[in-house]
Structure 1
Amino acid sequence: MPEFEIFLRLGLALAIGLLLGLERGWHGRTEDEGDRIAGIRTFALTGMLGGVSGWLADLIAPSFPAFALLALGGLLALSYWLRLREDDDLGLTTEIALMLTFALGAASVIGEMAPVAAVAVVAAILLSMKPTLHHWVGQIERFELESLFKLALISVVILPLLPDQGYGPGEVLNPYELWWAVVIVAALSFVGYLAIRIAGARFGILATGLFGGLASSTSTTLALARLVRGDGSLSQIAAAGIVIAGSVTFLRIVALVAVFEPALVAPLVWPMVTMAATGLAGAGLTQVFAGGERALHDEIPEIGNPLALKTALGFGAVLAVVLIAVHYLREWLGSEGVFAAAAFSGITDVDALTISVSRLIDQDLPLVDGAVAIFIAASVNTIVKAGISLFAGNGGLGLRVGVIYLATIAAGALSLWLVG
Structure 2
Amino acid sequence: MALALGLLIGLERGWQGREQAEGTRVAGIRTFALIGLLGGVWGLLAEQLGPAVLAAAFAVLAIVLATAHALSQIQDHDVGVTGVIASLLTFALGAMATLGYGEIAAAGAVVTTILLGVKPTLHRWVRRLEEKELHAVLKLLLISVVILPLLPNQGYGPWEALNPYRIWWMVVLIAGISFVGYFATKLIGERRGIMATGLFGGLASSTALTVNFSRLARGRPGSENILAAGILAACATMFPRILVVSSIFSWTLASTLLWPVIAMTIVNYSGAALFWYWSGKSSSQGGGARLKNPFELKPALIFAALLAAIMLLSRALSEYFGDAGVYLLAAASGIADVDAITLSLANMTGEDLAVTVATLAVLIAAFVNATVKAGLSLGIGGFALGARVGGVTMAVVGVGLLTWWFSA
TM-score by length of 1: 0.70
Greater alpha carbon shift after TM alignment, 34-43 vs 99-108: 34-43
Q: How far does the alpha carbon of each residue in 1:232-255 deviate from its partner, in whole angstroms, 9 at most, with x for none?
A: xx7xxx635522333224537988
Does the alignment pair 1:118 with 2:103?
Answer: no
Deviation of 1:185 after TM superposition, in Å, equals 3.0
Change (3 A) 1:385 1:317: closer
Does the alignment pair 1:54 with 2:46?
Answer: no
Does the alignment pair 1:150 with 2:150?
Answer: no
Deviation of 1:67 after TM superposition, in Å, equals 2.8
State the distance in 1 between where 2:301 and 2:242 align: 18
Deviation of 1:325 after TM superposition, in Å, equals 0.9
Which of residues 174, 196, 212 in structure 1 aligns to 2:181? 196
Which of residues 233, 238, 251 in structure 1 aligns to 2:237? 251
Tell me the equivalent position of 1:349: none
Report the AA paired with residue 7 of structure 2: L
Which of residues 316, 337, 340 in structure 1 aligns to 2:328? 337
Tell me the equivalent position of 2:193: 207
Tell me the equivalent position of 1:319: 307
Deviation of 1:52 after TM superposition, in Å, equals 2.4
State the distance in 1 between where 2:263 and 2:175 align: 25
Change (3 A) 1:291 1:106: same
Deviation of 1:30 after TM superposition, in Å, equals 4.8
Q: How far does the alpha carbon of each residue in 1:21-59 deviate from its partner, in whole angstroms, 9 at most, with x for none?
A: 222233344555555332222212212222222333456
Which of residues 354, 361, 372 in structure 2 aligns to 1:381? 372
Matches within 5 A, 1:283-294: 283-284=272-273, 287=276
Deviation of 1:379 after TM superposition, in Å, equals 1.6
Change (3 A) 1:27 1:374: farther
Structure 1 gap segments, 5+ residues each: 1-11, 346-351
Identical residues among aligned pairs (%) = 30
Matches within 5 A, 1:5-404: 12-31=1-20, 33=22, 35-58=24-47, 61=50, 63-82=52-71, 90-137=79-126, 138-139=129-130, 141-151=133-143, 152-156=145-149, 158-159=150-151, 162=152, 166-173=155-162, 178-204=163-189, 205-212=191-198, 214=201, 216-221=209-214, 223=216, 227=220, 229-230=221-222, 239=225, 242-251=228-237, 267=254, 275-276=264-265, 278-284=267-273, 287=276, 295-297=286-288, 299-301=290-292, 305=295, 308=297, 310-333=298-321, 334-342=325-333, 345=335, 352-354=336-338, 357=341, 371-372=362-363, 374-384=365-375, 387=378, 392-393=383-384, 398=387, 404=392
- Contact residue 133 and residue 294 of structure 2 kept, 8 A: no
- Contact residue 18 and residue 43 of structure 1 kept, 8 A: yes
Greater alpha carbon shift after TM alignment, 363-372 vs 375-384: 363-372
Change (3 A) 1:223 1:154: closer
- Contact residue 338 and residue 369 of structure 2 kept, 8 A: no
Tell me the equivalent position of 2:205: none
State the distance in 1 between where 2:242 and 2:165 align: 12
